[in-house]
Structure 1
Amino acid sequence: MLGDPVLHTPCEPVTDFGPALAELIEDLFATMYAARGVGLAANQIGVPLRVFVFDCPDDEDIRHLGHLVNPRLTEADGIVLRGPEGCLSLPGLEAGMERYDHAVAEGVTQDGAPARIEGSGFFARCLQHESDHLEGLVYPDRLSGWRRARALRAARKAPWATGS
């Protein structure tokens, strides 16, 4: 949850592509589906590694399903759109966030094969959001002014708040 140090620390690269990585990816998908999310980064379940999973539609309702290991957000461009954004680490909360309408993330699969994921609309938002997690950022870190103050106030009052 918000306030846990693992969410605010950049994640380490994956170096072991063995069975533990495959198990982590399975755990990420199971956790994401149980929480009814569309993306989940490893640090959100307490594992400080550069891995995220997604099962997210774009604005044309095309489903994007997969994972990235050691991803880098290589493109975030196009028009900037403000839209509602939530996070499984801040359950029940949402804020109007500005994100680019196009994003590309590059990394590898659990087997080490190169992977390039391109997204637009809502899926581009997801790629940017999950990439932020791996850098130790949660969406309120990208807010400013009254939007940031309102999001942090709501987080402090949430039933899951840790008091930090």
Structure 2
Amino acid sequence: MTIRTILTAPDPKLREVSKPVDEVTDEIRKLMDDMLETMYDAPGIGLAAIQVGEPIRVIVMDLSEGDEPKEPRYFVNPVIRDPSDELAPYQEGCLSVPEFYEEVERPDRCVVDYLDYEGNPQTLEAEGLLAVCIQHEMDHLNGVLFIDHLSRLKRERILKKLKREKAEAAA
């Protein structure tokens, strides 16, 4: 497995809409393995393929904590349906928007249809943190960052700081 570079805002590639995967192949499974290794190394709980520069509809996540056994999840071509009308606020962060955390409201439950690691169709009823995480990662597949759910002022302040940090790192 290879640890890949995670793109950070304001990289324009993060705004691309990802394309569906035709078939879950060994190449796609290798990408998912690399993404999982990259996510664990970062560390994070979810990662979309576009965050490592691959504009395809693939997500990995693992919500296990600390010494708990790893519980990797793989979502290929995920589709959210039946989001609840009830919203729940969660403190969100993002590997592509490092060191920033803000409260975002999202539906607290949803159903997700997707292909698993082997390419088999699956349906998952998600709630709580799992529902938030899948919606957050799905946003990435549509070119949306969690900061897009914030006020314009907060979003611009975060992007300005990230641009400044990138410029300083390049110098």
Q: Indicate yes or no: 2:9 matched with 1:2.
A: yes
Distance 1:92 1:56 in 2: 19
Q: Deviations over 1:114-146 (max 9, x none)?
A: 111222111111010011011111111222244
| Matches for 1:72-111 after TM superposition, within 5 Å | 72-111=79-118
The answer on whether the counterparts of 2:104 and 2:150 sit within 8 Å (CA) in structure 1 is yes
Distance 2:57 2:160 in 1: 29
The answer on whether the counterparts of 1:155 and 1:161 sit within 8 Å (CA) in structure 2 is no
TM-score of the two chains, using structure 1 as the length reference: 0.85
Q: Indicate yes or no: 2:23 matched with 1:23.
A: no
Q: Deviations over 1:24-69 (max 9, x none)?
A: 1101110110011111000001111100011126xxx9x8631110
The answer on whether the counterparts of 1:107 and 1:115 sit within 8 Å (CA) in structure 2 is yes
Note the residue ranges of structure 1 that are not aligned, 5 or more in a row. Answer: none
Task: Please report how far the alpha carbon of residue 77 of structure 1 lies from its aligned counterpart in structure 2 after TM superposition.
Answer: 1.4
Q: Which has the higher strand share?
A: 1
Distance 2:128 2:112 in 1: 14
| Matches for 1:1-164 after TM superposition, within 5 Å | 1-56=8-63, 65-158=72-165
TM-score of the two chains, using structure 2 as the length reference: 0.82
Identity of aligned residues (%): 35
Note the residue ranges of structure 2 that are not aligned, 5 or more in a row. Answer: 1-7
Runs of 4+ in 1 over 2 A off after TM superposition: 144-163
Task: Please report how far the alpha carbon of residue 153 of structure 1 lies from its aligned counterpart in structure 2 after TM superposition.
Answer: 3.8
